[in-house]
């Protein structure tokens, strides 16, 4: 779908066209879910957040003015939905822990069992993503745009080449230079590098490879 086609879909959505909204959701469904999964850490929570994202988009699409790309607008909504859920969950956990159980041995905190990632891990994941986005925003505009097209919008090299009027070889070369530039920024940011390394190790226990493989260094 071209940018012009997307703009027309957005205008139709603002006019209440349900079919146009379904087409728009089909385009962004996987991207929204991927972002939610990276922030929430599991399929169930990511799916719930994705549904809330699409509901918010439906309710607020008339407020979209095109001051940023629609993709960026959707990304910010997704991040905010996930952050709202994480804050709500943290308050719930804190309230539950504060509940005391009377036992013959005296008071003790209620033990809470959960298969979900630890709250600290989830918050660290959120902080990591926000800082990573800041570093991406610091890239030169051409690098930032082409990297987001490839990594965030999940466009093929051919799709990017067609949209930008470039050869596939040029597209691959620019994406490689953008990744190198971003890699240098990540390595220079000791705190972010440590967070990525820690979360990567948690998610890849027992697997070959490591941060050097992940970042290509």
Q: What would the pLDDT profile of 81-90 be if each residue is shown by its tens digit?
A: 988 887 776 6
Q: Count of CB atoms within 10 A of residue 130's CB?
A: 13
Q: What is the CATH number of domain 117-217?
A: 1.10.10.10
- On the question of pLDDT at 92 being above 60, the answer is no
pLDDT tens for 151-173 read 776 778 988 888 788 899 999 99
Q: Best-predicted range by mean pLDDT among 38-42, 54-58, 93-97, 185-189?
A: 54-58
- On the question of pLDDT at 62 being above 90, the answer is yes
pLDDT at residue 1, rounded to an integer: 44
pLDDT tens for 116-146 read 556 666 677 777 777 887 888 788 878 887 8
DSSP states along the chain? --HHHHHHHHHHHHTT-HHHHHHHHHHHHHHHHHHHHHHH-SHHHHHHHHHHHHHHHHHHGGG--SSS-HHHHHHHHHHHHHHHHHHHHHHHHHHHHH-EEEETTEEEEPP---SSPPHHHHHHHHHHHHHHHHHHHTS-HHHHHHHHHHHTS---HHHHHHHHT--HHHHHHHHHHHHHHHHHHHHH-HHHHHHHHHHHHHHTTT-S--HHHHHT-
What are the sequence ranges of the domains in the chain? 1-116, 117-217
Across the chain, mean pLDDT equals 77
> Residue 100 forms beta bridges with which residues?
109
pLDDT tens for 168-205 read 999 999 999 999 998 899 889 888 888 877 766 655 55
pLDDT at residue 209, rounded to an integer: 44
Q: What is the CATH number of domain 1-116?
A: 1.10.1740.10
* 1-116 and 117-217, same CATH topology: no
């Amino acid at each position: 779908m071209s940018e012009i086609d997307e703009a027309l879909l957005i205008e139709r959505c603002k006019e209440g066209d349900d079919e146009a909204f379904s087409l728009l959701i089909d385009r962004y469904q996987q991207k929204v879910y991927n972002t939610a999964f990276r922030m929430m850490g599991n399929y169930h929570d990511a799916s719930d957040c994705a549904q809330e994202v699409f509901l918010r988009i439906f309710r607020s699409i008339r407020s979209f003015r095109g001051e940023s790309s629609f993709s960026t607008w959707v990304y910010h909504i997704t991040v905010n939905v996930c952050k709202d859920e994480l804050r709500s969950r943290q308050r719930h956990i804190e309230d539950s822990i504060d509940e005391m159980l009377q036992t013959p041995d005296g008071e003790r905190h209620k033990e809470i069992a959960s298969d979900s990632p630890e709250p600290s891990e989830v918050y660290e994941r959120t902080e990591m993503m926000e800082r990573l986005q800041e570093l991406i925003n610091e890239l030169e505009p051409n690098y930032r745009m082409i990297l987001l097209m490839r990594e965030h919008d999940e466009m093929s090299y051919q799709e990017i080449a067609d949209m930008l009027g470039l050869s596939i070889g040029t597209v691959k070369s620019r994406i490689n230079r953008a990744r190198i530039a971003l890699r240098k920024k990540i390595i220079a940011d000791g705190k972010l590098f440590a967070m990525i390394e820690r979360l990567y190790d948690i998610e890849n226990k027992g697997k070959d490879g490591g941060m050097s493989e992940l970042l290509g260094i």
